[in-house]
Amino acid sequence: MIDLFQHPASTLVTASDAATLDNLHDRASHARPGAVVRRLRGGKCADERGFFDEAMAALQLPHYSGSNWNAFEESLSQYWLPADGMLILVADAQRIFAASTGALATLSRIVAGGLIPPPRPLRLLYQTPAAEHAAFVARLAGAGVAHAVI
């Protein structure tokens, strides 16, 4: 069984259907039962405002969390500290921050920054349809985001 928590902070998987993402969600939940596995809808995250709204709901961040990067980072580090790791699945990732390479780089920096101390990893898993894979890999590279492809 693949352990998605053992991959680098940002990992890209090409999957054209929701069933594949559901399968990865289930695998991650079983691989590390004390971890939190949540899904963001890339289509709801086309800009930063949409991302913060989606993240607050999907990650169940406290209501007082602000809609900016500092507040997001602080909420993740304080609110999820007791968890045995967190995996954030981004469905249709080609749609996240569609017009902002900077926001994609900031999100990846926050995740790679080790907010949750080892051995409790914080990971992002980006899912794209096969037809969007190459373009999204280019966006990650353009943002300076190190990633693995599984």
Contact criterion met (CB below 8 Å) for 51 and 103:
yes
Query: What are the structural domains of the chain?
Result: 4-149 (3.40.50.300)
Q: For 31-44, what is the mean pLDDT?
A: 89
- pLDDT for res 113: 75
- Give the position of tokens 């809609």: 67
Residue 42: enclosing H or E segment and its boundaries?
none
Contact criterion met (CB below 8 Å) for 1 and 115:
no
Which residue would you say has higher pLDDT here, 59 or 63? 59
- pLDDT for res 109: 85
The Cα 112–Cα 145 span in angstroms is: 9
The Cα 38–Cα 78 span in angstroms is: 17
- pLDDT for res 94: 94
Which pLDDT tens digit goes with each residue over 86-133? 888 999 999 999 988 899 999 988 888 765 555 567 888 888 888 998
Which pLDDT tens digit goes with each residue over 66-83? 789 988 888 887 766 567
- pLDDT for res 111: 83
Contact criterion met (CB below 8 Å) for 52 and 39:
no
Dihedral sign, Cα of residue 52, residue 54, residue 58, residue 60:
positive
The Cα 122–Cα 1 span in angstroms is: 19
- pLDDT for res 45: 96
Which pLDDT tens digit goes with each residue over 3-33? 666 766 667 676 667 778 888 888 888 888 8
- pLDDT for res 1: 47
- pLDDT for res 46: 95
